């Protein structure tokens, strides 16, 4: 199940996760009844201010800044909820080998009386805290994300397991007609077989549809993945495992705007500040950026297919230049962002339709791939 990649993420068994929860609880119990001091929980701070770009490993690694939540009047409710959440996680999910969605967790708390979560964001945040505190990502604790993981099409055979009998299920991602295969929320158990030369991750579903419709993956011999915006954890993990397993490069194709660069691409490659404690599992350090770059606007004569940068775009770009360790590490990205700010425009993937609907797959992609010059 594990890959042979040198920095493969740690996979925690359910028993180990369960033991970790017991350890935390024992410590708190001892604080209260033996040491007679207020118990506390320690969390790594999850923000861009507490990550560094680990160039050797190729992702954002969390630093050692932590926040301590000591039991007090202000924290007593969250503290109680944390204990009940840990109890549920251990007793109902890990020990019973079950799974639950974030929303199910929220509704499950309705049986806790006054301790219940009033809104789902409360339980989501607490779950993030607990994941960080335990150092175990929530998928391994049995929580499944609600969002879709992304779509896959192309010359790839995925070997999945039938949960009812444990037998292999073979999925041919090139033989799904005009449809695609959906990445499941847990991908650790998947195995792969492919002769593709690279993986192309695209931002929008509509461009993905166009590429699938014209069977671009056959012409280019690549695996197409649709991310639909910022890639989910499962999508990132899937790309990472697939790329590691097949030892093939990954290219990203997004809208040419600060969101596409600094949120979608950056998160895919090195992870995010929010999920800093688990970036090591959810990043694809080998990905490179294909486009659309600001230079492409000039090179492909698309100046009249652009939109002016909005205030939020400008703010995002400037913020990234100032605070994002990844951008700060790469001169090329700083130049690209500065060029974009100077031009004052952004561009969408679909803008190539100016030159004809299929210009993007007939001219742009082949040219860019042939040239082989990508942003880091």
Inter-residue contact 169 to 213 (CB < 8 Å): no
Q: Which CB atom, from 7 or from 22, has the smaller least distance to another protein?
A: 22
Q: Inter-axis angle of helices 120-134 and 14-33, to 10 degrees?
A: 90
**d(C-alpha 295, C-alpha 332), whole Å:** 12
Omega of the bond prior to 292 within 30 degrees of 0, cis?
yes
Which of 106, 107, 265, 364 is an active site residue? 107
Number of residues that bind another protein (CB under 8 A): 31
Q: Does 283 bind another protein (CB under 8 A)?
A: no
Q: Does 98 bind another protein (CB under 8 A)?
A: no
Give me the 114-153 binding string for another protein, x by CB under 8 A, dash otherwise.
Answer: xx--------------------------------------
Among 56, 73, 177, 322, binds another protein (CB under 8 A): 73
Where does this chain touch another protein (CB under 8 A) — which range of 35-43, 173-181, 232-240, 288-296? 35-43
**d(C-alpha 189, C-alpha 1), whole Å:** 6
Angle 302-306-312 from CA coordinates, rounded to 5°: 145
Q: Does 81 bind another protein (CB under 8 A)?
A: yes
HEC readout, 27-70: HHHHHHHCCCCCCEEEEECCCHHHEEEECCCCEEEECCCEEEEE
In the complex, the smallest distance separating the C-beta of residue 99 from another protein, rounded to whole angstroms, is 19
**Has 216 been annotated as catalytic?**
no
Q: Does 36 bind another protein (CB under 8 A)?
A: yes
Where does this chain touch another protein (CB under 8 A) — which range of 67-75, 130-138, 146-154, 354-362? 67-75
**d(C-alpha 224, C-alpha 201), whole Å:** 6
Q: Which CB atom, from 84 or from 241, has the smaller least distance to another protein?
A: 84
Q: Which CB atom, from 91 or from 323, has the smaller least distance to another protein?
A: 91
Q: Which CB atom, from 109 or from 226, has the smaller least distance to another protein?
A: 109
Q: Does 106 bind another protein (CB under 8 A)?
A: no
Token pair 């449809």: residue: 179
**d(C-alpha 255, C-alpha 172), whole Å:** 29
Contacts from 369-374 at CB under 8 Å and sequence distance 24+?
Answer: 369/198, 369/220, 369/251, 369/290, 374/251, 374/288, 374/289, 374/290
Q: List, in order, residues 6 or more apart from 325 with CB less than 8 Å away.
A: 48, 51, 52, 53, 60
**d(C-alpha 136, C-alpha 128), whole Å:** 10
Among 9, 17, 20, 21, binds another protein (CB under 8 A): 21
Among 50, 82, 194, 349, binds another protein (CB under 8 A): 82
Q: Which CB atom, from 72 or from 274, has the smaller least distance to another protein?
A: 72
What is the length of the chain? 376
Q: List, in order, residues 6 or more apart from 216 with CB less than 8 Å away.
A: 210, 222, 224, 361, 365
In the complex, the smallest distance separating the C-beta of residue 104 from another protein, rounded to whole angstroms, is 18
Q: Does 72 bind another protein (CB under 8 A)?
A: yes
Q: Which CB atom, from 6 or from 113, has the smaller least distance to another protein?
A: 113
Residues that bind another protein (CB under 8 A): 21-22, 25-26, 28-29, 32-33, 36-38, 71-73, 76-77, 79-87, 90-91, 112-115
* Catalytically annotated residues: 107
């Amino acid at each position: 199940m594990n890959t042979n990649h040198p920095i493969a993420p740690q996979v925690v068994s359910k028993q180990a996760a369960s033991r970790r929860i017991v350890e935390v609880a024992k410590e708190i119990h001892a604080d209260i009844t033996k040491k007679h001091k207020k118990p506390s929980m320690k969390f790594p701070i999850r923000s861009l201010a507490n990550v560094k770009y680990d160039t050797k490993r190729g992702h954002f690694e969390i630093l050692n800044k932590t926040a301590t939540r000591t039991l007090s009047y202000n924290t007593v409710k969250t503290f109680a909820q944390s204990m009940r959440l840990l109890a549920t996680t251990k007793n109902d999910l890990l020990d019973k080998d079950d799974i639950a969605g974030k929303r199910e967790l929220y509704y499950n708390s309705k049986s806790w009386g006054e301790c219940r979560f009033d809104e789902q964001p409360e339980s989501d945040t607490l779950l993030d805290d607990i994941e960080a505190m335990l150092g175990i990502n929530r998928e391994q604790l049995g929580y499944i994300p609600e969002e879709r993981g992304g779509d896959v099409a192309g010359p790839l055979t995925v070997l999945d397991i039938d949960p009812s009998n444990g037998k292999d299920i073979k999925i041919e991602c090139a033989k799904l007609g005009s449809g695609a295969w959906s990445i499941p929320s847990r991908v650790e158990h998947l195995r792969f077989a492919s002769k593709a030369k690279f993986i192309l991750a695209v931002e929008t579903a509509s461009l993905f549809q166009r590429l699938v419709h014209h069977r671009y993956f056959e012409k280019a011999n690549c695996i197409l993945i649709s991310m639909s915006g910022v890639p989910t954890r499962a999508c990132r993990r899937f790309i990472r495992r697939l790329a590691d397993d097949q030892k093939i490069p990954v290219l990203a194709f997004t809208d040419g705007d600060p969101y596409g660069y600094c949120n979608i691409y950056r998160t895919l490659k090195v992870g995010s500040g929010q999920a800093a404690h688990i970036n090591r599992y959810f990043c694809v350090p080998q990905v490179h950026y294909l486009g659309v770059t600001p230079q492409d606007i000039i090179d492909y004569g698309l100046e009249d297919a652009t939109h002016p940068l909005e205030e939020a775009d400008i703010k995002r770009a400037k913020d990234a230049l100032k605070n994002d360790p990844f951008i700060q590490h790469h001169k090329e990205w700083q130049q690209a962002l500065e060029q974009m700010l100077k031009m004052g425009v952004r561009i969408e993937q679909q803008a190539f339709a100016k030159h004809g609907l299929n210009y993007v797959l007939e001219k742009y992609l082949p040219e860019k791939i042939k040239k082989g010059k990508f942003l880091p």
